[in-house]
Structure 1
Amino acid sequence: MSHATAQYLTLGLDRETFGIPIAHVQEILDHRPVSALPQAPAFLLGMIDVRGRSYPVIDLRTKLGLAPVEPTAATRIILLDVVVNGRPTGIGVVADQVFEVTALDPGRMEEAPEVGGRWRADYIAGIGRKGEAFVVVFDLARLMAGDAPALRDAA
């Protein structure tokens, strides 16, 4: 019996692999300067303009409660369309690196553990497998709307 698969963009942050449903991904950009916004939260790096459309740019590391790092040649800005507080919103997220688009079987995706896990379960849509590796798939709407860091032991 075969299950239908869904496509996810896999990306790296710190030493972990995360997945974003490809339906939310609009474009992947090389890292570029961001125009800072005064009094923005620490995770909001600022704004960029892409073909006349403004995108707020979020540092996923900071949003997740990880230590920020300097951009490298592999750093990318992923442009997403996400529903935030009931409204479709264009957002850019900075990832350490982008790996590939891969298929994960939603029927075989595991729920996030409620206790003992590194990540807050309410920000996770599921945990998939690619071979022997785990891919943490975030619930983007909850992650973008939430104020608490996704990493449990973050301040």
Structure 2
Amino acid sequence: MSSVWQYLTLGLDREIFGIDIESVHEILDYRVPAALPHAPPFLVGMIDVRGQSYPVIDLRTKLGLPAIAVTQATRIILLNIPMGDREMRVGFVADRVIEVAELDSAELEPAPDVGGRWRSTYIAGIGRKGEAFVVVFDLKALMAGDDPALLMPSLAA
């Protein structure tokens, strides 16, 4: 039995990723986060949104992609990610937000585990939107690990 789920699709580099819309709280224009000393490279700082603090993660760095300059299209996506008995508030920096797309859960394919580009542990599935592939994040797994999600060529060999 198939069911259709909604995902916020975002672009990083030439890739399209999907985040379950249930976890999305708000989408903001980019603002410079306050830096945190001794933070891992992917944690660019903190922002305050109406009295709530959000750590901000650069998805490019988290995924092992090269950094780029902020553009007019850069957004911070505020998420509430269920993590066991609590919700984690976090902001993801994305190159661009594309749209809310519907993907049929029955048509989501598992992440290939045959030397692909991405660590399959961070991927809930791969869907299609028209001719494009949408890599759907497993947000809990993505937030639990400190390793880059992009496999380095030397590791994939």
* Contact 1:85/1:145 (<8 A) preserved: no
* Contact 1:11/1:97 (<8 A) preserved: yes
Deviation at 1:55, TM superposition (A): 0.2
TM-score w.r.t. length of structure 1: 0.95
Match of 2:143, SS?
Answer: helix
Q: Deviation per CA, 1:107-132, whole angstroms, max 9, x where unpaired?
A: 11000001121001111000000111
Please tell me the residue identity of whatever aligns with 1:153. M
Q: Deviation per CA, 1:79-104, whole angstroms, max 9, x where unpaired?
A: 00113475311100000000000100
Percent sequence identity over aligned pairs: 65
Does residue 146 of structure 2 align to residue 135 of structure 1? no
Residues of 2 paired with 1:28 and 1:61: CA distance?
17
> Where do residues 32-47 of structure 1 align in structure 2 (5 Å cutoff)?
32-47=31-46
Deviation at 1:20, TM superposition (A): 0.2
Match of 1:73, SS?
Answer: coil
Structure 1 counterpart of 2:148: 149
Q: Which moved more, 1:5-14 or 1:85-94?
A: 85-94
Q: What's the Cα RMSD here?
A: 1.5
Structure 1 counterpart of 2:65: 66
Residues of 2 paired with 1:152 and 1:65: CA distance?
8
* Contact 1:76/1:98 (<8 A) preserved: yes
> Where do residues 5-154 of structure 1 align in structure 2 (5 Å cutoff)?
5-84=4-83, 87-153=86-152
Deviation at 1:148, TM superposition (A): 1.0
Match of 2:106, SS?
Answer: helix
* Contact 1:84/1:144 (<8 A) preserved: no
Match of 1:23, SS?
Answer: helix
Please tell me the residue identity of whatever aligns with 2:45. G
TM-score w.r.t. length of structure 2: 0.94
Q: Gaps spanning 5+ residues in structure 2: where?
A: none
Please tell me the residue identity of whatever aligns with 2:74. T
Aligned length, in residue pairs: 154
Q: Gaps spanning 5+ residues in structure 1: where?
A: none
Match of 2:102, SS?
Answer: strand
